[in-house]
Amino acid sequence: MAALLQILSYGVFSGALYGLVALGLSLVFGVMNYLNVAHGALIMLASYTVLWTCYYLRFDPFLSLILVVPVFFVIGWVLFLGLFQRLLALPETEKLKNSLLISFGILLICSNGATMLWTADERAVATSYTGKVIDLLGVRLPYIGLATVLLAIIVVLGVHLFLTRTYFGKAIRGVSQDYEAASWMGINTRRVCLASFAIGVALAGFPGVVIALQTFNPIVSFDLTNKALIVLILAGVGSLRGVLFGGLLLGVVEAASVFFVGVAYREVVGLLLFVLVLMFRPQGLGGRKA
């Protein structure tokens, strides 16, 4: 029983991380139909940024967010103005295809550039609480895992409140529901897209911290993009509230598959789940019809 609970808790911890990973991708996809597969690479870069801020400025990893998130906001801003802005005028399917291709190029550039700059060695930020656990009825809960869950809840709630309670958030939701109609209502759609793309990239900072606390290397970006896509589909396209749920589902399924099928096929089970959902319920498990 304790073993099962232990596995379940690991599922929840990695699930919270998956939810964070998918959040930025989901926001960008929901608002402007861009499939930014470079998101995993951006998270990887965020992890390196966290690593260097912790190393040079002696910051706590979670404190380094006050630096990392604005930096990635700017990176998203620049990426949008430099590359993605050109695609806004294209029809829906072309938009999707071209954003997929361009961000795929960025993914290649980032992961290989990072390998060139910082080698493919595994790295991690070591803190005083790394490896510390709370023992709760025989179940060992690592501090970092608990912090991840807390962070995921805070960030998802924050984004949710931003989208529902602020004027600009409402504009973003308007654009995501109907691009044309939003522009007729006097919303500056280009600016909304720019801002939500930048926010989406800035959201890469949060999973970046959690990844930095585990071991990571530049290759992790492919894996992260992959996880983000799975969660995006599980949650339902454009459903931000579903992201946490989708992440948790994937995390728990993966953890359970370690228990039942063995660690070698952990990824396969998640991917199979993904393919099945894609085939039979492409709008996602809890999503609205696309």
Q: Does position 202 bind other proteins by CB under 8 A?
A: no
202 within 8 A of 80, measured Cβ to Cβ: no
Residue closer to other proteins by CB (options 130, 226) is 226
Of positions 67, 71, 83, 88, contacts other proteins by CB under 8 A: 83
- Tell me the HSE value of 114 on the side-chain side, using a 13 A CA sphere: 26
Q: Does position 86 bind other proteins by CB under 8 A?
A: yes
Q: Does position 115 bind other proteins by CB under 8 A?
A: yes
Of positions 8, 169, 267, 285, contacts other proteins by CB under 8 A: 267
CA angle 192, 197, 198 (to 5 degrees): 100
Of positions 5, 74, 101, 153, contacts other proteins by CB under 8 A: 101
Torsion-angle region of residue 211: left (phi > 0), alpha (psi -120 to 50) or beta?
A: alpha
Of positions 63, 67, 71, 96, contacts other proteins by CB under 8 A: 96
Q: Does position 88 bind other proteins by CB under 8 A?
A: no
CB 38, min distance to other proteins, A:
10
Element (H, E) at 238: none
Of positions 17, 229, 235, 252, contacts other proteins by CB under 8 A: 229
Residue closer to other proteins by CB (options 56, 280) is 280
Of positions 28, 31, 35, 244, contacts other proteins by CB under 8 A: 35
Locate all alpha helices (DSSP H) within 236-290, ordered by sequence.
Answer: 240-260, 266-280
163 within 8 A of 154, measured Cβ to Cβ: no
Residue 116 burial by Cβ neighbours in a 10 Å radius (0-12, 13-18, 19+): exposed
CB 150, min distance to other proteins, A:
30
- Report the alpha-carbon distance of residue 20 to residue 270 in Å, rounded: 17
CB 219, min distance to other proteins, A:
11
CB 122, min distance to other proteins, A:
17
- Report the alpha-carbon distance of residue 278 to residue 288 in Å, rounded: 14
Of positions 8, 88, 258, 278, contacts other proteins by CB under 8 A: 278
Residue closer to other proteins by CB (options 23, 273) is 273
10 within 8 A of 145, measured Cβ to Cβ: yes
Q: How many C-beta neighbours within 10 Å does residue 54 have?
A: 20
Of positions 21, 107, 231, 235, contacts other proteins by CB under 8 A: 107
Q: Does position 90 bind other proteins by CB under 8 A?
A: no
End-to-end CA separation in angstroms for the chain? 41
Query: How far does Cα 98 stand from its chain's mean position?
Result: 21
Which parts of this chain interact with other proteins (CB under 8 A)? 35, 83, 86, 93, 96-98, 100-102, 104-109, 112-113, 115-116, 222, 226, 229-230, 233, 264-265, 267-268, 271-272, 274-275, 278-280, 282
